[in-house]
């Protein structure tokens, strides 16, 4: 008696609120834009063909008991190649501390906890605005947040001058979070030249860049192009952190498959950091569910399935097909805009 009398309902999550409003709306024309995942004409989740084929391949495999180290290592290896480039030095030299994570959210949460343990006095700078859950994730890890200028509502574009000022005025060695492509919620990304300037200024200030990559492939239809910001930072030899999610890019929202990677000075440091993050994960949730990890691993390591996936990610294919079908509507917005 009385144990929980002081517990009031939590504030509603703004994104879940959109879904609740959607479900409550009787209109037959309603569309839920709250969750950025593939949907068919009837608004149902789309299962990609590559996922269907991977399911068939892994059916009956002996994965139910527990996750073997090799399973998770393969998924992490392939994820790291996807984001840093398969020929990048960090991949060749084994300088990335990567761990499987519970989708993008879980990867951010692991990083925030890691940040608190090893930089307890630090802050995190978010773009203004940012995905609403970033606030919750770093708050729960007890890392205070600050914001940097990003979106200018008047011009509906990036406020680059103010962003650069904030980077310059932040204390040296600050942690910054970036959306490398398809910024959520604005859809506005820096240009290649602007990323170069940001990267240069990060070198000057010694800031730490953390990239939350929730939509690789969704902005341009090209996985490498969407990783361009990260590749620019790599060229400038930054040590960066990255959260990856397969929720949207493989339509695996319900399976919670993701990866957290942190670049290190050498493979020895990578081993130390990996073991620390694994220890954090162990206390939070033990180990992640294996089914989704096996699906992603199967797709990324089978050349045929991987190229099928790359094709499916390309929204340009969608546009071409619509045009081939003789649609007279203008579908340019599908390739011109960043649909996050």
| CA dihedral sign, ordered 50, 56, 61, 63 | positive
Residue 125 in contact with ligand PLP, rule: CB under 6 A: no
Residue 188 in contact with ligand PLP, rule: CB under 6 A: no
Residue 180 in contact with ligand PLP, rule: CB under 6 A: no
DSSP-assigned letter for residue 60: T
**Looking at beta carbons only, is 174 or 181 nearer to ligand PLP?**
181
Please state the closest distance from residue 141 (CB atom) to ligand PLP, in A.
15
Q: Do the strands 124-128 and 145-149 form a parallel or antiparallel pair, or are they unpaired?
A: parallel
**Looking at beta carbons only, is 105 or 228 nearer to ligand PLP?**
105
> Total residues contacting ligand PLP (rule CB under 6 A)?
13
How far is it, in rounded angstroms, from Cα 219 to Cα 313? 10
The answer to whether 248 is a known catalytic residue is yes
Residue 247 in contact with ligand PLP, rule: CB under 6 A: yes
The closest alpha carbon to 213, from 108, 137, 296, 285, belongs to 108
- How many residues belong to the chain? 340
DSSP-assigned letter for residue 326: T
Instruction: Note if the bond before 129 is cis, omega within 30 degrees.
Output: yes
| CA dihedral sign, ordered 265, 271, 276, 278 | positive
**Looking at beta carbons only, is 95 or 113 nearer to ligand PLP?**
113
Residue of 138, 212, 226, 309 with catalytic role: 212
Residue 131 in contact with ligand PLP, rule: CB under 6 A: yes
Structure tokens at 218: 């969704």
From the list 74, 109, 116, 179, which residue makes contact with ligand PLP (rule: CB under 6 A)? Answer: 179
Residue 104 in contact with ligand PLP, rule: CB under 6 A: yes
DSSP bridge pairs for 279:
none
Strand ranges inside 116-174, DSSP E = 124-128, 145-149, 151-152, 157-158
Residues 23-42, one symbol each (x = binds ligand PLP by CB under 6 A, - = not), give -------------x------
Please state the closest distance from residue 75 (CB atom) to ligand PLP, in A.
14
Residue 251 in contact with ligand PLP, rule: CB under 6 A: no
From the list 72, 105, 249, 298, which residue makes contact with ligand PLP (rule: CB under 6 A)? Answer: 105
Structure tokens at 119: 């930089």
Residue of 74, 226, 248, 309 with catalytic role: 248
How far is it, in rounded angstroms, from Cα 319 to Cα 330? 9
- HSE-CB of 177 using CA atoms within 13 angstroms: 32
The answer to whether 131 is a known catalytic residue is yes
Residue 241 in contact with ligand PLP, rule: CB under 6 A: no
Please state the closest distance from residue 102 (CB atom) to ligand PLP, in A.
7
Active site residues: 131, 212, 248
């Amino acid at each position: 008696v009385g144990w929980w009398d002081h517990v009031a309902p939590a504030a509603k999550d703004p994104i879940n609120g959109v879904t609740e409003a959607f479900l409550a709306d009787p209109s037959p024309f309603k569309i839920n834009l709250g969750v950025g995942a593939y949907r068919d004409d009837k608004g149902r989740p789309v299962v990609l063909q590559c996922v269907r084929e991977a399911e068939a391949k892994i059916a009956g495999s002996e994965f139910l008991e527990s996750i073997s180290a090799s399973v998770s290592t393969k998924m992490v290896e392939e994820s790291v190649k996807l984001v840093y480039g398969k020929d990048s030095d960090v991949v060749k030299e084994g300088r990335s501390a990567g761990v499987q994570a519970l989708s993008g959210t879980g990867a951010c949460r692991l990083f925030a906890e890691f940040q608190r343990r090893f930089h307890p006095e630090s802050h995190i700078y978010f773009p203004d605005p940012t995905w609403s859950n970033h606030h919750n994730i770093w708050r729960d890890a007890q890392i205070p947040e600050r914001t940097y200028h990003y979106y200018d509502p008047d011009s509906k574009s990036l406020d680059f001058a103010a962003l650069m000022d904030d980077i310059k005025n932040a204390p040296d060695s600050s942690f910054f979070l970036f959306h490398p492509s398809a910024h959520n919620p604005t859809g506005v990304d820096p240009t290649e030249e602007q990323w170069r300037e940001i990267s240069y200024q990060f070198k000057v200030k010694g800031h730490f860049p953390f990239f939350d990559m929730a939509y690789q492939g969704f902005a341009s239809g090209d996985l490498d192009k969407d990783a361009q910001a990260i590749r620019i930072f790599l060229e400038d030899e930054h040590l960066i952190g990255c959260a990856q999610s397969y929720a949207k890019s493989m339509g695996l929202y319900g399976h919670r498959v993701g990866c957290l990677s942190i670049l290190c000075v050498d493979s020895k440091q990578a081993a130390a950091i990996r073991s620390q993050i694994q220890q954090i994960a162990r206390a939070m949730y033990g180990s992640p569910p294996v089914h989704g990890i096996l699906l992603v691993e199967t797709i990324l390591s089978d050349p045929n399935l991987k190229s099928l996936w790359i094709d499916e990610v390309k929204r340009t294919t969608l546009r071409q097909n619509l045009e081939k079908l003789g649609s007279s509507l203008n579908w340019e917005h599908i390739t011109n805009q960043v649909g996050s």
